Amino acid sequence: MITDNTSLKLEKVFRNAQDFLPLLGTDYVELYVGNAKQAAYYYMNAWGFKPVAYAGLETGSKDRVSYVLEQGKIRLVLTSPLQQDGPINAHINAHGDGVKVVAIWVDDATYSWEQTTQRGAVSNMEPVVLKDKDGEVVISAIHTYGETLHYFIERKNYNGVFLPGYQDWKTDFETTGAGLLFIDHMVGNVGWNEMNTWVDFYAKVMGFTQLVSFDDKDISTEYTALMSKVMANGNGRIKFPINEPAEGRKKSQIEEYINFYNGAGVQHIAVATDNIIDTVKRLKAGGVEFLYVPPSYYDDVLDRVGQIDEDLAPLKELGILIDRDDEGYLLQLFTKPVLDRPTMFFEIIQRKGAQSFGKGNFKALFESIEREQERRGTL
Ligand code: FE2
């Protein structure tokens, strides 16, 4: 006879067998940038991030400088080289500013590295223990699409400000925040015919499952098209949609990205808020630029999505998009690229039940992106 207790245990064993790579959440996102000091000022001043930690010449780091910023559970690390001809220089030369590391918070960085490399991940760094007076952190790393890396960060025995080697970063700069809470999802752009390779990677190597997919019929305008599949880990805290270009009459935004980034990379970081109107007002006041949404979008949007809690007027004024699925609705909007090259941007998202990604907005959105591409001469 299987008692309740036994079935509970069986369920646990089954779950462990399924989720061989338990992930606690996103630990941090590191960008390699040309001038970390000034990038940090942008994220503090425009986005309301709080200065947290610093590593550079003063802390014994001879080849690089890094600034660590936080808002809610979102942690950004901005890193620039201090010398010539190093790997960070080469990365910036090839890609411009961009995401180098998507670090994942785990309970056991050694086990995570073993499980993923056994399943075919290419190792970037075997597990290492970093120590200072505040304890120790175990870090390991594997490669994902393009030159992007996943770090596994085990910090249960660490009480310091970020990682060993970093010190408190004290400034007089006052940041008020913008109500950003956590990373909802992070999207990778990959090249032609590469989407399924990377979908398989996340399924086989990291134990993710596919949530939804869109093909070029879902996501196309008169000119451009793309395909997308969304991969999520076992507890759903980490969601990585993967895009690839599809044939259209003109060059798609994914192709534009691949051309300027020189390959696959992180396209956008979606950050969650529980008051999108307030958040977007603050970001706009800070100088963050958003994609233009034509006022006509709002003429019939409520016919499509039904009743919502918010007044339409502020959504229209701020260009916030609305979409609905079986479970509820969501509010979202997208910044223009936040770097010099037309590559990475941010999405601001507020979920009110909906667990999808705004498929109903793709057409309006892409037409807006195409207007920007037209201005850049890259359509
Ligand atoms: Fe998104």
Distance 322 CA to ligand 1 centre (A): 13
pLDDT value of residue 249: 66
pLDDT value of residue 197: 96
Distance 120 CA to ligand 1 centre (A): 28
Distance 195 CA to ligand 1 centre (A): 16
Distance 80 CA to ligand 1 centre (A): 27
pLDDT value of residue 42: 97
Q: How do residues 340-378 score in pLDDT, each as one tens digit?
A: 999 999 999 999 999 888 888 877 777 777 888 888 888
Distance 356 CA to ligand 1 centre (A): 9
pLDDT value of residue 176: 85
Distance 357 CA to ligand 1 centre (A): 6
Q: How do residues 225-240 score in pLDDT, each as one tens digit?
A: 778 899 999 998 999 9
Distance 47 CA to ligand 1 centre (A): 18
Distance 110 CA to ligand 1 centre (A): 31
pLDDT value of residue 248: 74
Distance 125 CA to ligand 1 centre (A): 29
Distance 267 CA to ligand 1 centre (A): 9
Distance 202 CA to ligand 1 centre (A): 18
pLDDT value of residue 365: 73
pLDDT value of residue 213: 65
pLDDT value of residue 6: 42
Distance 301 CA to ligand 1 centre (A): 19
Distance 212 CA to ligand 1 centre (A): 13
Distance 164 CA to ligand 1 centre (A): 33
Distance 333 CA to ligand 1 centre (A): 9
Distance 348 CA to ligand 1 centre (A): 9
pLDDT value of residue 219: 63
Distance 226 CA to ligand 1 centre (A): 13
Distance 347 CA to ligand 1 centre (A): 6
- Would you say the pTM of this structure is higher than 0.85? yes
Distance 332 CA to ligand 1 centre (A): 9
Residues with CB under 5 A from ligand 1 (ion): 270, 347
Distance 185 CA to ligand 1 centre (A): 7
Domains 7-15+178-376 and 25-168 share a fold: yes
User: 25-168 — its CATH code?
Assistant: 3.10.180.10
Distance 237 CA to ligand 1 centre (A): 15
Distance 299 CA to ligand 1 centre (A): 24
Per residue, the 3-state secondary structure of the chain, as one string, reads CCCHHHHHHHHHHHHHHHCCCCCCEEEEEEEECCCHHHHHHHHHHCCCCEEEEEECHHHCCCCEEEEEEEECCEEEEEEEECCCCCHHHHHHHHHCCEEEEEEEECCCHHHHHHHHHHCCCCEEEEEEEEEECCEEEEEEEEECCCCCEEEEEECCCECCCCCCCCEECCCCCCCCCCCEEEEEEEEEECCCCCHHHHHHHHHHCCCCEEEEEECCCCCECCCCEEEEEEEECCCCCCEEEEEEEECCCCCCHHHHHHHHHCCCEEEEEEEEECCHHHHHHHHHHHCCCECCCCHHHHCCHHHHHCCCCCCHHHHHHHCCEEEEECCEEEEEEEECCCCCCCCCEEEEEEEEECCCCCHHHHHHHHHHHHHHHHHHCCC
CATH class for the region spanning 7-15+178-376: alpha beta
Distance 128 CA to ligand 1 centre (A): 33
* Residue segments in the chain with a per-residue pLDDT below the cut of 50: 1-16
Spans of all domains in the chain? 7-15+178-376, 25-168
pLDDT value of residue 215: 61
Distance 374 CA to ligand 1 centre (A): 22
